[in-house]
Amino acid sequence: MKTVASLLIVLLLAACSAPQGEATKSEATAAPQQQAATTESASPAAPMSDMPSEATVASASGKVEAVDTTAGTVTIAHGPVEALKWPAMTMTFKAGDIDISGLKSGDQVDFEFTSTGMDGTLTKITRE
């Protein structure tokens, strides 16, 4: 009787489990879905995707906060820059080929610059 009961249990367990081929198919189907979820979560945040990766030309107006002729930089508190979707802020720009020796703190200026990410290089600057 014990042999018959054991045999019955083995047969019931075998009938309840999925055949080997079907288990492999469901695992293979789940794998691409898991990969897609992993790929989507690895994508960059939305604000960074809005940042231009190539040099962009933009213009703004602002007030000179500091001039460093040795380093070749000008710090400007500027208004919003629509072309780059930047809010008003204070940032330091590289002078590039622009002569900044005549600028001083407090000067109101209009300027153009190229930007790559958050790095800006002046291409033109005039006092108001």
What was the pLDDT predicted at 104? 97
Domain positions in the chain: 2-41, 50-127
The model's pTM: 0.59
What was the pLDDT predicted at 82? 93
Residue-wise pLDDT tens digits, 16-41: 655 555 554 544 454 444 444 444 44
What was the pLDDT predicted at 56? 92
CB atoms within 10 A of CB 75: 16
What was the pLDDT predicted at 118? 85
Given a cut of 50, the residues of the chain with pLDDT beneath it are 24, 26-28, 30-49, 51-52
Using CA of residue 102, residue 104, residue 108, residue 111, what is the dihedral sign?
Answer: positive
DSSP string for residues in 65-125: EEEETTTTEEEEEE--BGGGTBPSEEEEEE-TT---TT--TT-EEEEEEEEETTEEEEEEE
Let me know: does 74 contact 90? Beta carbons within 8 Å: no
The CATH code of domain 50-127 reads 2.40.50.320
